[in-house]
């Protein structure tokens, strides 16, 4: 039986397995660190799958005992076999050709053995380069994948969570924290954002701290260089920073290795700090107590530091992009709110309308998204789609800024200046009637004094009746001026008033209203003339003209079209383009329902009373029966009680 000794070692990323027997060439000149001596192949078979490429060196007799199990454990990360001391006629192990690096004959001379050392050295160097290339390629692929993943994150909190998680994964760290640099009152400070720890449950709220050298994160941010701590309990006393041991004591934890890496943007400005704690041999091992930590925690090596630095660079750029995106979002939100304020300042009577329509439409869209059967089953709205609907709802009436203000705020059929003119005419007619009465009485007294007493009362009665008729006509005019549905004979009486001369005795006869004013007062419904209605209707076109000039993102590009179509009916009777059914975007069809409902139920307006919800729904149902609005969407609006999403008559979303 051949006696043997197996020496295992890992040197610079290569696992070298040297098999020794009495017949093996003398390799005593080799010197390695971390040698582990194994006395038999059974112990070798207990070897776990290697993460490093392996070289197995031995004679044919020694290698005959190398089992398939061992080969399979060594194969995944790369395996090469060097057969030494191959003598003629000796049995040769049957390995795959791809695994055998070379077969060396028995060497007797010292010079030949030196050549063997050189050959093995060259083999190790080659595998080292291959391993380095493999690790570099793997690291590059992993960082690329992480970069793509980070770039896809739009929510900043989720992005920060992912940055910290991936940094811990690639360095096999048990815990970590993340800080952001922010400016407050022209002073920079650090904001603690989050903490992760696999071994102990810790929940910390956000807090701010000074940006100075007294903390590890602050020191890394100020120096703009990674800070590496091999033992948190053995920090140089001259260092300004320190580790708070009481946190460990409170949680039965032991912090050992620490790494604080500044996050720099493309301008080399520090925007945050990534802090990693306790790099482990095995990422899945929990550091449940200080003793386990002392056994499992290892220092940060060059590769892990390099990986974290690369991740930090990409993370900083992505983070700044997200923060810039959020700033733009906030800026745009401010613009939208300012636009809504501008709309409502032009038309105070509809205050809150845009917000309510937006909320109702969004709620209806969310309900549509959940439908799993019928016509709406295939319709789904993403988070960006919902935001697009919200903006379209808020801005759907922006075109009102292009409509004459006196039309927007018009309360009655006549404008205030027209009312003033008619009142002035009435006062003048009344005064002239009084004057005419006194003229006739005086003339009677001078010309026919004997008939004075008998005729005077008749003259006063006549003019009293004429003034009463004037007052009656004025009262009728003011009643007609109030927006309401007029009775059938109203236009005829208004025409008579417009043609009636109150003082035929005077040149021109003095009429109370013109025919144009009579036509305005004869408006059957509402308070606007046909021309004024057309001007109001132009607000949809004005909205579109304005909104299409905004450089919307791809996700929001339909905002102008949705706002443009919110007054279209599916039977071509809407405006401004008289679209038909599917020509109208479903988002606009939803907004039409919300817009009509809110217009009916909103706070009392000068030209109408607020309708109760049941009346508004009844009107909407009749419009759906007439084929004007989408029946399926209206049924969902009623079934899911979307209309309860806003408090009626308050302008506030629930």
Token pair 């329509």 is found at: 357
d(CA 272, CA 323): 12
Residue 528 pLDDT more than 50?
Answer: yes
| 585-597 b/e (C-beta count within 10 Å ≥ 16 → b) | bbbbbbbbbbbbb
Which of the two residues, 643 and 445, has the higher pLDDT score? 643
In this structure, of 128-132, 225-229, 358-362, 650-654, the range with the lowest mean pLDDT score is: 650-654
- pLDDT band, very low/low/confident/very high, at 122 (cuts 50, 70, 90): low
Residue 6: predicted pLDDT: 45
More confident residue, 314 or 44: 314
Mean pLDDT score across all residues of the chain: 81
Lowest mean pLDDT, pick from 67-81, 397-411, 492-506, 624-638 = 67-81
Give me the residues paired with residue 16 across strands. 9, 55
Tokens standing for residue 260:
């604080």
Q: Supply the DSSP string of 118-172, one letter for each residue.
A: HHHHHHHHHHHHHHHHHHHHHHHHHHHHHHHHHHT--SHHHHHHHHHHHHHHHHT
Kindly state the tokens that stand for 40. Answer: 């038999």
Give the pLDDT score at 535: 83
The rounded distance, in Å, linking the Cα atoms of 445 and 438 is 10
Handedness of CA 285, 289, 292, 294 (dihedral sign): positive
Least confident among 127-136, 415-424, 630-639: 127-136
Q: Quick one: CA torsion of 617, 621, 622, 623, rounded to 10 degrees?
A: 100
The band of 51, judged by pLDDT with boundaries at 50, 70 and 90, is low
Please state the rounded mean pLDDT for residues 155-175.
85
Six-digit token string for 629 = 């609005």
Tell me the average pLDDT across 76-100: 78
pLDDT at 132 over 60: no
400 pLDDT more than 50: yes
Least confident piece of the model among 130-134, 265-269, 334-338, 384-388:
130-134
Where helices occur in 302-402 by DSSP H, the ranges are: 302-346, 353-369, 383-395
Determine which of 142-151, 554-563, 573-582, 620-629 has the lowest per-residue pLDDT on average: 142-151
- Beta strands 258-264 and 270-279 are antiparallel
Beta bridge mates, 57: 18, 82
Return the top range by mean pLDDT from 156-170, 261-275, 333-347, 360-374: 360-374
- Pick the range with the lowest mean pLDDT from 53-57, 119-123, 501-505, 638-642: 119-123
| Least confident among 125-129, 150-154, 449-453, 488-492 | 125-129
CB 458 within 8 A of CB 443: no
Residue 150: the pLDDT is 63
Given a contact cutoff of 8 angstroms between Cβ atoms, the answer to whether 153 and 146 are in contact is: no
Closest CA to 459 of 473, 478, 447, 442: 442
Mean pLDDT of 374-401: 91
Confidence of residue 145 (pLDDT cuts 50, 70, 90): low
Q: Give residue 156's pLDDT.
A: 75
**CB neighbour class for 30 (10 Å; exposed up to 12, middle 13-18, buried from 19):** middle
Give 597-617 pLDDT, tens digit per residue. 998 998 756 566 788 999 999
End-to-end CA distance of the chain: 88
Higher pLDDT, 376 or 18: 376
| Assessment of whether the complete model's pTM goes beyond 0.85 | no
At 484 the pLDDT is 79
pLDDT of residue 608: 67
CB atoms within 10 A of CB 316: 23
pLDDT at 159: 78
**Which position has the higher pLDDT, 58 or 235?**
235
- 3-class DSSP state for residue 439? helix
Most confident stretch, 172-176, 335-339, 509-513, 648-652 = 172-176
Q: Report residue 283's pLDDT band, with 50, 70 and 90 as the boundaries.
A: confident
Task: Please report the pLDDT score of residue 227 as a whole number.
Answer: 93
Is the pLDDT reported for residue 11 higher than 50? Answer: no
Max mean pLDDT among 2-6, 233-237, 333-337, 502-506 falls in 233-237
Least confident of 244-248, 340-344, 370-374, 475-479: 340-344
Query: Do 634 and 618 touch, CB atoms closer than 8 A?
Result: no
Percentage of the chain beyond pLDDT 90 is: 36
What is the model's pLDDT at position 390?
94
Neighbours of 403 (CB within 10 A): 19
Nearest Cα neighbor of 643 from 606, 589, 605, 602 is 602
Cα–Cα dist 584/574, whole Å: 11
pLDDT at residue 9 is higher than 50 = no
Segment 242-263 shows an average pLDDT of 91
Site of tokens 């006393």: 237
Of all residues in the chain, the percent with pLDDT exceeding 70 is 82
Q: How far is 263 from 641, CA to CA, in rounded Å?
A: 49
3-state DSSP helix/strand/coil percent for the chain, to nearest 5? 50, 15, 35
DSSP H/E element including 173? strand 173-184
Segment 401-460, tens digit of pLDDT: 777 877 777 888 899 999 999 999 999 999 999 988 888 888 888 888 888 788 888 888
Report the range of poorest mean pLDDT among 203-212, 349-358, 556-565, 645-654. Answer: 645-654
Q: Residue 8's pLDDT band (boundaries 50, 70, 90)? A: very low
Q: What is the pLDDT of residue 271?
A: 87
Q: Give the per-residue pLDDT at 114.
A: 67
User: Token digits for 132?
Assistant: 């380095």
In order, the DSSP letters of 22-48 are TTS---TT---SS-EEE-SHHHHHTPP
Give the whole-angstrom CA distance, residue 421 versus residue 426.
9
Q: What is the 3-state secondary structure (H, E, C) of 442-498?
A: HHHHHHCHHHHHHHHHHHHHHHHHHHHHHHHHHHHHHHHHCCCCCCCCHHHHHHHHH
Give the span between the Cα atoms of 242 and 222, in whole angstroms.
16
Q: How many CA atoms lie within 13 A of 268 on its CB side?
A: 3
Residue 86 pairs in a beta bridge with 105
Closest to 413 measured CA to CA, from 498, 533, 510:
533
Task: Please state at what angle helix 452-481 crosses helix 416-447, rounded to 10 degrees.
Answer: 170
What Rg do the C-alpha atoms of the chain give, in angstroms?
45
């Amino acid at each position: 039986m051949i006696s043997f000794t197996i020496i295992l070692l890992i040197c610079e990323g290569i696992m070298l397995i040297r098999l020794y027997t009495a017949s093996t060439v003398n390799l005593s000149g080799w010197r390695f660190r971390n040698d582990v001596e194994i006395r038999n192949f059974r112990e070798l078979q207990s070897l776990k799958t290697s993460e490093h490429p392996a070289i197995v060196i031995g004679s044919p007799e020694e290698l005959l005992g190398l089992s398939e199990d061992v080969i399979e454990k060594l194969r995944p990360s790369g395996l090469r076999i060097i057969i030494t001391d191959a003598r003629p006629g000796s049995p040769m192990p049957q390995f795959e050709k791809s695994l055998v690096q070379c077969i060396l004959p028995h060497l007797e001379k010292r010079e030949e053995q030196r050549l063997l050392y050189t050959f093995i050295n060259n083999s190790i160097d080659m595998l080292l380069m291959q391993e380095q290339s493999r690790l570099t390629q793997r690291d590059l692929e992993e960082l690329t994948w992480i970069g793509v993943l980070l770039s896809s994150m739009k929510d900043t909190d989720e992005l920060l969570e992912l940055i910290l998680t991936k940094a811990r994964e690639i360095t096999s760290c048990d815990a970590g924290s993340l800080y952001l640099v922010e400016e407050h009152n022209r002073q920079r400070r650090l904001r603690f954002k989050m903490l992760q720890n696999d071994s102990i449950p810790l929940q910390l709220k956000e807090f701010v701290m000074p940006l100075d050298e007294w903390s590890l994160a602050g020191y890394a941010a100020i120096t703009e260089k990674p800070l590496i701590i091999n033992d948190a309990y053995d920090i140089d006393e001259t260092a300004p920073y320190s580790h708070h041991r009481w946190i460990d004591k409170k949680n039965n934890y032991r912090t050992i290795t620490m790494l604080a890496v500044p996050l720099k943007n493309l301008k080399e400005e520090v925007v945050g700090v990534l802090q990693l704690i306790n790099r482990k041999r095995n990422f899945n091992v929990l550091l449940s107590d200080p003793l386990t930590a002392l056994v499992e925690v290892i220092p940060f090596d060059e590769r892990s530091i390099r990986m974290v630095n690369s991740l930090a660079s990409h993370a900083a750029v992505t983070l700044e992009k997200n923060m810039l995106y959020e700033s733009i979002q906030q800026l745009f939100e401010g613009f939208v709110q300012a636009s809504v304020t501008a709309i409502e300042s032009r038309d105070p009577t509809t205050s809150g309308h845009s917000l309510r329509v937006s909320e109702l439409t969004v709620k209806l869209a969310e309900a549509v998204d959940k439908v799993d059967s019928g016509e709406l089953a295939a319709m789904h709205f993403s988070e960006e789609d919902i935001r697009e609907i919200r903006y379209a709802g808020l801005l759907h009436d922006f075109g009102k800024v292009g409509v004459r203000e006196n039309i927007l705020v018009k309360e009655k059929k006549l404008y205030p200046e027209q009312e003033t003119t008619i009142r002035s005419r009435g006062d003048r007619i009344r005064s002239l009637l009084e004057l005419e009465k006194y003229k006739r009485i005086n003339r009677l007294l001078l010309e026919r004094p004997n008939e004075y007493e008998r005729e005077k009362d008749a003259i006063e009665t006549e003019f009293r009746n004429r003034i009463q008729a004037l007052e009656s006509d004025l009262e009728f005019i003011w009643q007609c001026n109030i927006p309401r549905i007029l009775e059938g004979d109203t236009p005829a009486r208004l025409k008579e008033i417009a043609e009636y001369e109150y003082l035929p005795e005077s040149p021109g006869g003095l009429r109370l209203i013109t025919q144009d004013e009579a036509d305005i007062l004869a408006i059957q419904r509402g308070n606007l003339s046909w021309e004024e209605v057309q001007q109001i209707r132009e607000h949809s076109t004005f909205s579109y003209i304005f909104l299409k000039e905004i450089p919307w993102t791809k996700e929001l590009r339909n905002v102008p079209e949705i706002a443009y179509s919110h007054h279209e009916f599916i039977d071509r009777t809407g405006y401004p383009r008289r679209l038909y059914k599917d020509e109208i975007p479903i988002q606009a069809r939803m907004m039409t329902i919300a817009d009509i409902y809110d217009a009916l139920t909103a706070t009392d307006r000068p030209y109408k009373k607020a309708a109760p919800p049941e009346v508004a729904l009844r009107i909407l149902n009749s419009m759906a029966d007439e084929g004007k609005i989408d029946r399926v969407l209206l049924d969902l609006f009623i079934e899911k009680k979307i209309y309860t999403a806003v408090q009626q008559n308050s302008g506030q979303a629930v």
